[in-house]
């Protein structure tokens, strides 16, 4: 078996000195995000949404992992058997390397899916998946996720419990997660969109743009221009039949407590809606997706596992309604 074939929801696999590193972006975009700064570089290289997917009759499987830089400290691998969530294998925070050993629950040939961390770049080596292991072929249509840290998966503890992975799985798509923490509407990130041949695209930026405007690092006029350029660039990049859905920023308790802050966020949302509608994209109101209670947020901004599940469920409701 070619071990490269077990990796899914990525655009390629790089051979590193300490293992195989599946990547979400091609070299051009990786270089682009690296040039934006270390924080963006770390997030772009993280293995958000990427899986190892294979069938085997072996009772026990194992593999070695190595990590790099972290945007969150969690090192966790979610395990599915026959497409049923079984467990999360939690390693020590910011673990630089280790070995994952998993005892299969189902007898006989079983499909095993390991969801890799969204928090760090992950390299895989030393795989022992059994003598009869075979990679799984995934023929589901592709859903491309374009967004910031919330799309990347922060701050769920379990890597398969971010809203993007949950939503794609629920709706019968294979996900390609292009969420990059801290990022904003930027048309320069769209050059490779046409190459991935997505059947559906979900866009969810705006929360970092709001912060930049609030802190004086961006003007409202600059934001309006950036959103217009992004939406028109996305319309140009995709086929007319590609389903594009734009989500406005979700509710947050952090740094949005004054009337002035809420007014600014309303202007941000209105700008996103206006430009999305101009390009004939569907729009979902982010305020309706996650409960307006800090119980659903990890830090006043990012959904926790519970909030991400609510977000995915309410996106499905909005799209089916």
Contact between 75 and 91 under an 8 Å Cβ cutoff? The reply is yes
Residue 13 CA, chain-centre distance (Å), reads 18
**How confident is the model over 81-109, as pLDDT tens digits?**
999 999 999 999 999 999 999 999 999 99
User: What are the mean pLDDT values of the chain's consecutive 10-residue runs (321 residues total)?
Assistant: 95 97 98 98 98 98 98 98 98 98 98 98 98 97 98 97 98 98 98 95 98 97 98 95 97 93 97 98 98 97 98 94 67
Query: How confident is the model at residue 321, as a pLDDT?
Result: 67
Q: What is the pLDDT of residue 140?
A: 97
pLDDT of residue 257: 87
Residues 6+ apart with CB under 8 A from 257: none
């Amino acid at each position: 078996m070619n071990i490269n074939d077990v990796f899914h929801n990525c655009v390629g696999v790089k051979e590193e000195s300490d293992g195989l590193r599946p990547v979400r972006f091609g070299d051009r975009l990786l270089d682009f995000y690296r040039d934006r700064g270390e924080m963006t570089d770390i997030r772009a290289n993280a293995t958000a949404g990427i899986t190892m997917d294979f069938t085997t009759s072996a009772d026990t499987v194992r593999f070695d992992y190595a990590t790099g830089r972290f945007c969150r400290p969690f090192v966790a691998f979610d395990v599915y058997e026959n497409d049923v969530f079984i467990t999360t294998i939690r390693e020590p925070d910011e673990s630089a390397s280790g070995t994952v050993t998993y005892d299969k629950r189902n007898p006989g040939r079983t499909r095993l899916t390991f969801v890799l961390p969204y928090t760090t770049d992950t390299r895989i080596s030393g795989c022992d998946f059994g003598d009869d292991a075979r990679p799984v072929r995934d023929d589901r249509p592709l859903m491309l996720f374009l967004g910031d840290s919330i799309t990347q998966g922060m701050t769920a503890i379990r890597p398969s419990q971010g809203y993007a992975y949950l939503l794609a799985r629920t709706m019968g798509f294979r996900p390609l997660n292009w969420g990059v923490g801290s990022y904003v509407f930027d048309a320069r990130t769209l050059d490779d969109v046409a190459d991935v041949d997505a059947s559906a695209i979900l866009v969810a930026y705006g929360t970092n743009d709001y912060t930049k405007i609030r802190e004086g690092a961006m003007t409202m006029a600059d934001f309006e221009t950036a959103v217009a350029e992004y939406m028109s660039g996305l319309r140009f990049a995709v086929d007319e039949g590609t389903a594009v859905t734009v989500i406005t920023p979700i509710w947050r308790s952090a740094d949005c407590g004054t009337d002035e802050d809420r007014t600014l966020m309303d202007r941000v949302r209105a700008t996103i809606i206006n430009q999305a509608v101009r390009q004939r994209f569907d729009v979902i109101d982010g305020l309706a997706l996650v409960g307006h209670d800090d119980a659903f947020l990890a830090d006043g901004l990012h959904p926790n596992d519970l909030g991400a599940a609510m977000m995915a469920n309410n996106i499905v409701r909005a799209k089916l309604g």
